[in-house]
Amino acid sequence: MNQSRKIRWGVLSTGWMAHKFTLALSTLPGAEILAVGSRTPEKADQFGDEFRIPRRYGSYRELVGDPDLDIIYVASLHPFHFENAKLCLEAGKAVLLEKPFTMTAAEADKLIALAHERNLFLMEAMWVRFCPLFRHLKAEISKGLIGELRMIQSSYGTRFPWQPGHRSLNPDLAGGALLDIGVYPISLASFFFGEPPRDIVSKAHLGETGVDEQSAIILEYSQGKLALLSSAVRTGTCHDSFLYGTDGYIRIHGPWWQITDATLDRNGQETAIHIPKEGSGYNYEAVEAMDCIRLAKIESELMPLDETLQIMLTMDRIRSQWGLRYPFE
């Protein structure tokens, strides 16, 4: 297969996340943004005009039917990830699926099985782990930079305005912190520990609309390793993350998902770590997807599907502890 050929992209949905990703995608010489699909022709045309996309479709079914697309980026709201990604896979299209991958592990398992059955590439768009700083820290920790990694502390909390109909608080749109932003610290712990948790203890405040407005989560891993995590949509939190080892610790400077700066502390001696990133950072996950497609891979080694499934299982267990179910479940 030609390793330099352009990969032809379709974009499913035209919301805020689609804008951010498509802007990053437009900077990559190896990418051709060929088509966009929306629920209305007007939105598809507006988005197409903004990014100079030649093919515009007024339905998702028309988009996935385009025979010239190599991959479709699914950027719809997360309650619709399963049905939209399934539509793409059934049409024979590779998929980069925005986080959270699905609503439940059962949905994730079905998509993964379908992708394997059709021999199609599928990957969760957990963009932060593809950025250079995360990859650098993972490699250095594996070499013993801070000894044995024993504990992780990470939070993602912000205070959204009180708008009960907004997706962040609306139970009909699977609102709340966990699936929207809580998935980030959970994925961070999964990335650095490299295994699923064996036990979970968590508490959440379910607010007036019934969704998790804030939560605290402890994940226990093998040999007593711990991740202390929190997320919130009505409470701002410190956005530094910490990786604690037996011989020192690393502070990833907040907001940690900007991932360019960290500090290594060994016996009180601090060393700055600066690994710049290009653009917004969303470009790195697109490059990974395109590299995999050119190599005829059906999944990424940096974001393997088994790990995505384990993260969904973890969030299922957390929600079960809270008794949180959405109206459509």
- Which amino acids are annotated catalytic? 99
With CA atoms as reference, report the closest residue to 126 among 86, 166, 181, 76.
Answer: 181
Angstrom distance (rounded) from CA 34 to CA 4? 17
How far apart are alpha carbons 151 and 141 in whole angstroms? 13
Give the 3-state secondary structure of residue 227.
Answer: strand
Nearest-CA neighbor of 14 among 54, 63, 48?
48
Q: Are residues 86 and 114 in contact, defined by beta-carbon separation less than 8 angstroms?
A: yes
Task: Give the burial string for 141-165 (b: 16+ CB within 10 Å, else e).
Answer: beeebbeebbbbbbbbbbebeeeee
For the record, the structure tokens of 227 come out as: 């991740």
- What are the structure tokens assigned to 244, written together? 């604690």
